[in-house]
Amino acid sequence: MPLEIVTVPCLSDNYAFLTHDPASGETALVDAPESAPILAELEARGWQLSHVLLTHHHWDHVDGLSGILEKQPARVIGAKADEHRLPKLDQAVVEGDTFYIGSEPVEVLDVPGHTVGHIAFYMPESGAVFTADSLMALGCGRLFEGTPAQMWASLSKLAALPDETIVCSGHEYTQSNAKFALTIDPDNAALLDRVADINRARAAGEPTVPSVLGQEKATNPFLRAADPVIQAHLGMKNSDPASVFAEIRARKDRF
């Protein structure tokens, strides 16, 4: 059976995720922005935490961990490359590693760019990928440490997953991402429809995360750097997609 996935709003615009295996009772938390809302969700559902999966070292993804572990001890898993700057890990992982939540395999993907040690967690049987600040809804993370080429390679890796994959990203940035996307891909009918849906959802106080990978591929400009229409709009016809991505990212940084 696929895992039950629960989105937990944290801080002002962060998301954490709980994944629960009904058969075994095992429950994993992906990222720990703050303790109170996560512990409240666990208590409300009667779930006992078994694993914590950390995507990267930034404070708004790890600062709640100690408070959570005080109440619900769990096995902490994170990137071996970032072990020196993550909270203490029980298991350090690299790309290609697989571990299990109940009977569900969890595959580790290396997705540098936002940070050099950023990883994502792919759960193929549940059809979900936890991308934090790499691939985001209608966006991607700012390049604090990595290069445009690294991030383009990371996004291309994620884009190769099945279109129906649920993308569980780390922030509610979608509405602002949508405004920027329209400056890059203004005539994309699928994007225009999505922007209208996003604006309706946010006006009603509803989240726009998770999203669906196929929709990201159709509308997210950061995944579409190889598209001839976008390249022409940017005056970069027949350019290397990594260079086009770099231009799109630079424009977003100035937006």
In this predicted structure, what is the pLDDT of residue 194? 98
Range of the domain at 37: 4-254
Residue 51 falls in the annotated catalytic set: no
Please provide residue 24's backbone torsions phi and psi, each rounded to the nearest 5 degrees.
-95, -20
- How large is the C-alpha radius of gyration of the chain? 18
Residues 154-190 pLDDT 10s: 999 999 999 999 999 999 999 999 999 999 999 999 9
pLDDT surpassing 90 at residue 216: yes
Say what the pLDDT of residue 229 is: 96
Residue with tokens 């669906």: 212
Mean pLDDT for the stretch of residues 27-41:
98
Contact between 95 and 109 under an 8 Å Cβ cutoff? The reply is yes
Our answer to whether residue 60 is catalytic in this structure is: yes
Q: Which of 20, 61, 118, 185 is catalytic?
A: 61
The Cα 251–Cα 206 span in angstroms is 28
Q: Which of 20, 51, 58, 118 is catalytic?
A: 58
Q: Which of 20, 21, 31, 56 is catalytic?
A: 56
Is the CB of residue 225 less than 8 Å from the CB of residue 156?
no
58 is catalytic: yes
Catalytic residue among 51, 57, 114, 118: 114
**Catalytic-role residue among 20, 31, 51, 60:** 60
182-195-209 Cα angle (round to 5): 115
* Nearest Cα residue to 132 out of 119, 144, 122: 119
DSSP 3-state of 186: coil
Q: Reply yes or no on whether 171 is catalytic.
A: yes
Q: d(Cα 23, Cα 37) in Å, to the nearest integer?
A: 25
In angstroms, the first-to-last Cα distance of the chain is 43
Distance between CA atoms of 146 and 133, rounded to whole angstroms?
A: 12
- Our answer to whether residue 233 is catalytic in this structure is no
C-alpha pair distances (Å), 155 with each of 87, 111, 182: 26, 7, 20
Mean pLDDT of all residues in 34-38? 98
Residue 1 has pLDDT above 90, yes or no: no
Q: Which helix (H) or strand (E) holds 199?
A: helix 189-203
Question: Which of 20, 51, 57, 171 is labelled catalytic?
Answer: 171
Is 253 one of the catalytic residues?
Answer: no
Distance in angstroms (rounded) separating the CA atoms of residues 132 and 236: 30
**Binding site for Zn(2+), residues?**
56, 58, 60-61, 114, 133, 171
pLDDT over 90, % of the chain:
99
Report the distance separating Cα 144 and Cα 243, nearest Å: 18
Question: What is the CATH number for 114?
Answer: 3.60.15.10
User: Based on the structure, what is the number of domains in the chain?
Assistant: 1
pLDDT digits (tens, 9 = 90+) for 95-141: 999 999 999 999 999 999 999 999 999 999 999 999 999 999 999 99
Binding-site residues from annotation: 56, 58, 60-61, 114, 133, 171
Peptide bond connecting 148 to the previous residue in cis, omega within 30 degrees of 0: no
Q: What is the pLDDT of residues 56-104, one digit of tens each?
A: 999 999 999 999 999 999 999 999 999 999 999 999 999 999 999 999 9
Told to judge if 110 belongs to the known catalytic residues of this protein, a careful annotator would answer no
Residue 138's region, left for phi above 0, alpha for psi from -120 to 50, else beta, is left
User: Which tokens go with 205?
Assistant: 């106080």
